[in-house]
Amino acid sequence: MDDVAPGRRLRSQAWFDNPQNPGMTALYVERYLNWGLTREELQSSRPVIGIAQTGSDLAPCNRHHLVLAERVREGIRDSGGLALEFPVHPIQETGRRPTAALDRNLAYLGLVEVLHGYPLDGVVLTTGCDKTTPACLMAAATVDIPAIVLSGGPMLNGWFNGERTGSGTIVWKAREMLAAGEIDEAGFVDLVASSAPSPGHCNTMGTASTMNAVAEVLGMSLPGSAAIPAPHRDRGRVAYLTGRRIVEMVREDLRPSDVLTREAFENAIVVTSAIGGSTNAPIHVNAIAQHVGVPLDVADWQDLGLTVPLIVDLQPAGRYLGEEFHRAGGVPAVVHELMAHGLIHEDARTVNGRTIGENCRASAATDRDVIRSFDQALLPDAGFLVLRGNLFDSAIMKTSVISPEFRERYLSDPEHPGVLEGRAVVFDGPEDYHARIDDPALDIDETCLLFIRGVGPLGYPGAAEVVNMQPPAALIRRGVHALPCIGDGRQSGTSGSPSILNASPEAAAGGGLALLQTGDVVRIDLVAGRADVLLPDEQLIERRRRLEESGGYPVPASQTPWQEIQRSLVTQLCDGMVLRPAVGYQRVAQTTG
């Protein structure tokens, strides 16, 4: 077994084997011995590897990691390391109120402190449910000790009456069926629950699958690992290999800052676009980049990703689910296809010590129905569009989910292609939306645009996933399944709605959405990348003056200390919703005193 380079001391030796400070060494050693470890294990310069455990009963999407961690330990041990498992603040997307996004930065902060303050030479980041992946990667970026991602993998495919039911995506369909009176509430629960048949994270290309694909493309997990379904035997195998590899990474001193380069982030944008990835990806990926000190902004998503075709046929943009994606070749097959078209920086390093080009060169897709070639792409130009105007400085639109119905209804005017104009109906938060959407007085028809505000990082702490608003039930019964939706919040990555979202600055931060009133006419031009309320500047200035006089757009009181702390420090969605002071700290492992 290779040892670390001669003369190089492991970080953990400052705790367990420090001749300069025998008193403290004894104190550190005695407490770690008390569960049966030997001095030989602690003091033989074995790399000490943390297993950052995100699974728990509260976080069922990642609960499988409680089992996988055993295989990780075996891998660590077989490579000569010592494993110390510890909990990460739980994040469960659908169970956490008011929104799980509130916890991404909290889990990040907690993990930074653990990685910085304890005797760890490297860490295995267990990821899965949406925000667990960015939280872990952001912390690894800040601390910069050797780190490797192990995703838990998606659930098996869901099925109902012979049709695939994808997690999240089925919810949007089921709520429409409920509104149209096609199912009752018990039927609603049965249909939704059918989409979650096994351990694992969401089986659609929602935020979980997207972010784990991103982790792999960034080079932070072993190639081919992201898409393996949670119950497959290969999950255990890759857990073991991940444990083995992190020990070698410590010996090689291969750190996140060596892997998370601008090239790696550009690869992530291209792949996210090609897979029809989540609208949450730009937020999280921009956040990770900031924590490692790589310049990346929302404009990069359009510049690098918009012209990438959709080549993966997974829900919500397509038909299939996680099992087919894995069987077709998963992330390496997507990268392979993109490499053939010169869209990947092949020299970007990855955690296995090789480049992404080396890892994916022989990984052609094995099912061309699921992972397409460019000439059979599902859609051309399928990335994210960035819009600007007097309503916000930036918002994004996921073009891969613009349905033929939506395109026909809103974007096909031959004189103004890509332009939609209509009467705004404005809601202040999800409670207001639910209370009023079916109110006949609003007179909502197919020419209306639905707006929701007060749901950004400040307005609804963490930013709520509510922008994909369902039309009034009466409209659904008439066959109108989607109205254009615009908002300063987020939406689930499992949603197939082509909303314009993540608007920054949000209403609560003084954004133009705060000035909008129901009845205003709004014009959205997808070709020019504009979104504007058609009012003269003087009128907007006057509205702003009145709003400021009345104390500004209302922000509800914080319910917990963390909500207040986060509100006082957080940036807008376009900037990754990061904690402003935190991005000033990089490579903090070197500062442990």
Q: Which of 114, 202, 274, 402 binds ligand FES (CB under 6 A)?
A: 202
Least distance to Mg ion from the beta carbon of 304, Å? 24
Least distance to ligand FES from the beta carbon of 51, Å? 20
93 contributes a contact to ligand FES by CB under 6 A: yes
Phi, psi of 256 (to 5 degrees): -50, -35
- Interacting residues with ligand FES between 207 and 246 (CB under 6 A): 208
- Residue 46 or 131: the one with the smaller Cβ distance to ligand FES is 131
130 contributes a contact to ligand FES by CB under 6 A: yes
385/555 Cα distance (integer angstroms): 29
Least distance to ligand FES from the beta carbon of 167, Å? 6
Least distance to ligand FES from the beta carbon of 207, Å? 7
118/494 Cα distance (integer angstroms): 37
258/242 Cα distance (integer angstroms): 18
402, 406, 412, 413: CA torsion to nearest 10? -130
- Residue 208 or 292: the one with the smaller Cβ distance to ligand FES is 208
492 contributes a contact to Mg ion by CB under 5 A: yes
86/148 Cα distance (integer angstroms): 15
Contact 12, 123 (CB under 8 A): no
- Residue 131 or 543: the one with the smaller Cβ distance to Mg ion is 131
Q: Which of 18, 45, 56, 94 binds ligand FES (CB under 6 A)?
A: 94
Hey, what are 5's tokens?
């380079």
In the shown chain, the binding pattern of residues 130 to 159 toward Mg ion, with x for contact by CB under 5 A and - for none, equals x-----------------------------
- Going 133 to 134 to 139 to 140, the CA torsion angle's sign is positive
The item of Mg ion, ligand FES, none sharing an interface with residue 152, based on CB under 5 to 8 Å by kind, is: none
475 contributes a contact to ligand FES by CB under 6 A: no
488/456 Cα distance (integer angstroms): 5
- Interacting residues with ligand FES between 385 and 424 (CB under 6 A): none
Q: Which residues contact 84 (CB under 8 A, 6 or more apart)?
A: 48, 49, 50, 51, 118, 120
What residues are paired with 386 via a beta bridge? 396
Part in contact with ligand FES (CB under 6 A); list of ranges 200-208, 287-295, 353-361, 421-429 = 200-208
- Interacting residues with Mg ion between 259 and 288 (CB under 5 A): none
- Residue 31 or 97: the one with the smaller Cβ distance to Mg ion is 97
Site for Mg ion (CB under 5 A): how many residues?
4
Least distance to Mg ion from the beta carbon of 93, Å? 5
Which DSSP state fits 56? B
Q: Which of 16, 69, 93, 195 binds Mg ion (CB under 5 A)?
A: 93
DSSP H/E element including 165: strand 163-165
466/431 Cα distance (integer angstroms): 10
Part in contact with Mg ion (CB under 5 A); list of ranges 89-97, 247-255, 305-313, 532-540 = 89-97
Q: Which residue type occupies 73? A: R
CA distances to 147, 201, 207, 241 from 46, in Å: 16, 33, 36, 18
- Going 241 to 242 to 245 to 246, the CA torsion angle's sign is negative
103 contributes a contact to ligand FES by CB under 6 A: no
Cβ neighbours of 30 (radius 10 Å): 10
32/53 Cα distance (integer angstroms): 19
Which DSSP state fits 296? -
206 contributes a contact to ligand FES by CB under 6 A: yes
388/504 Cα distance (integer angstroms): 9
198 contributes a contact to ligand FES by CB under 6 A: no
Part in contact with ligand FES (CB under 6 A); list of ranges 198-206, 353-361, 551-559, 567-575 = 198-206
Least distance to ligand FES from the beta carbon of 234, Å? 19
- Residue 250 or 283: the one with the smaller Cβ distance to ligand FES is 283
- Residue 130 or 337: the one with the smaller Cβ distance to Mg ion is 130
Chain residues binding ligand FES by CB under 6 A are: 61, 93-94, 129-130, 167, 201-202, 206, 208
Positions touching Mg ion (CB under 5 A) are 93, 130, 465, 492
